[in-house]
Amino acid sequence: MPIPVAEALDEQAALGASKAASLRRPVAFAVAAALAGGFVGVGVVLLLSVAGPFAASGIVSSGPLAELLAETIAVKDSLGLGELFWRAVLCNALVCLGLWMAARTRSDAAKLIVLWWALLGFVASGFGHSVANMTTFSLGVFTAGATWDQLARNLAVTIPGNLVGGALVVGGACVLLGRSGGSESSNAADVTSD
């Protein structure tokens, strides 16, 4: 049975009002959009790994890569909530610093070098980024015996940790340094003009 026109219009009006309300909260909208983009990217990786060419080769489901994936998931799942949170804070601080430094350089080679070292630092240290963990645990669900509960527990802690690391630690430091840097540069101009 078709939906009555009045009911359909009411539903569309409510949907429009909720979208307008979400645009009044740009931070929540940006975070939700970033996480949705991360999940889409993870979906593409899963399609290639579990149902695509990598699945036929058995690279992800057996051998050294499968063992590494299972070990990584076991370690990440064994961490306490506090350790997960602070690893996520440090992880996104490194990622944001790498992006900030890359934005401050002029050459493409310098951008790549700066990003490489920042990302190598967070991967080698075992810090947890929510999008990387989405990929790791999702692959583990299909190949290494991980569960969706493990993914949900991990993301419930790493997403807030990544937000604190990026927004408060790096963003807050930039705001504080920007304020103090502006007053020092004006004082320096006063000294040189005398």
Of all residues in the chain, what percent are helix, strand and coil, respectively (each to 5)?
A: 85, 0, 15
Task: Per residue of the chain (194 residues), give pLDDT as tens.
Answer: 567 777 877 887 887 788 777 667 777 777 888 888 888 888 888 877 777 776 777 777 777 888 888 999 999 999 999 999 999 999 999 998 898 889 888 999 999 999 999 889 888 888 889 988 998 998 888 887 889 999 999 999 999 999 999 888 988 888 888 776 555 544 444 444 44
Which domains, from first to last, does the chain contain?
5-183 (1.20.1080.10)
- The rounded distance, in Å, linking the Cα atoms of 71 and 22 is 40
State the pLDDT at residue 144.
76
DSSP secondary structure string for all residues of 92-136? HHHHHHHHHHHHH-SSHHHHHHHHHHHHHHHHHHT---HHHHHHH
110 within 8 A of 138, measured Cβ to Cβ: no
- The rounded distance, in Å, linking the Cα atoms of 186 and 37 is 42
